[in-house]
Chain A
């Protein structure tokens, strides 16, 4: 599944300072849908090059990280259970840094 991922608020530093990533994520074995839970695990393995604890805590994102799926807060679409579709845009923003 082709997705566009964006990292902001300092999270890009964990992905070699690259903010935008066009990725192709395989669905997990036997599944017909891709959930945010699956995507997070994929991101941790494939995109986060250092300090994974700054991005994730357990199977979810670290507190203070805002997640928007197609400009909509993931709290409203089921958080980890949000299902993703082809060409979706997922934005991760760390709000730990002030500004």
Chain B
């Protein structure tokens, strides 16, 4: 099982894999005596900041400290909540968007370091956890051209194949396979189901539910022990408001935990402490490829709440 001790140094403990890169001292700043604190990274106080975290004035980071800070939040969530342990096989839900791209990248980096350590260790008592990736093809519910979706799937295959070694199995599963029967029948049944819901918000929420059920199905049929979602702080904030508005208060507290154990395969949220803008910034700075299949802005309650949360954020630091 995962070790929750912050001082553990045993060979299998993932705590040891966290490497804080030491910044190279910038002689110019040292000579000046570092007086211009306004223009220095708040972490290393050496390099010029390029990113603004969510804390406004207090979170101006240089690129390296920004990356380390974000990865650190991920690692902390994983370790303190025992999200990923050596015998686990984790299924990362990858939508192609920025949050799931970052969680995929971070899970890969963690697995890569675990593999290197395993290879270097004579005592091979603890295995390296396995990682699979699942992409749900929702083209039957949208109006994308088949060329568009095919290109997107190709891009996703490329992204996943480049995140090796260790190699990861990729599942590209159409949303209609939530119904056990195959192909055409599934599409018809899905259409019937969605058409039965007359409001936009209801349809969106139903799709969200179907996605998680399908992920559970994929995980359970392929021996995965955890499902990893890229759900970020911003999404949690939106969910708190939208669930309240929809009268879903009873399930709300369980919806926003780091680990959701209500499911057969527990669902974990390692990016719960990372706001969307930081994840987007990381993708941009690090050139992490995103595959975007967008249908335009959401017009229901979920979209309204998302915009509202952004307005609140913007006004907080005025």
Interface residues of A, Cβ cutoff 8 Å to B: 8-10, 13, 54, 62-64, 66, 68, 71-73, 75-76, 91, 93, 95-99
Contacts and interface: CB of A to CB of B under 8 A. Distances in A.
Contacts of A71: 50, 63, 284-285
Contact of A96 (B96, B292, B310): B310
A63 B297 contact: no
Contacts of A96: 297, 303, 306-307, 310
Interface of B: 49-52, 56, 60, 63, 95-101, 230-232, 234-235, 276-277, 279-281, 284-285, 290, 292, 294, 296-297, 303, 306-307, 310-311, 313-315
A64 B307 CA distance: 8
B74 to A, nearest CB: 15
A68 B285 CA distance: 9
Q: Tell which of B100, B235, B307 has the most Cβ of chain A within 10 Å.
A: B307
Contact of B235 (A9, A73, A91, A98): A98
A10 B292 contact: yes
Given A8-B280, A76-B52, A99-B96, 9 more contacts: A9-B98, A9-B292, A63-B307, A71-B285, A73-B281, A75-B52, A98-B234, A99-B95, A99-B279
A62 to B, nearest CB: 8
A57 to B, nearest CB: 9
B105 to A, nearest CB: 13
B290 A8 contact: yes
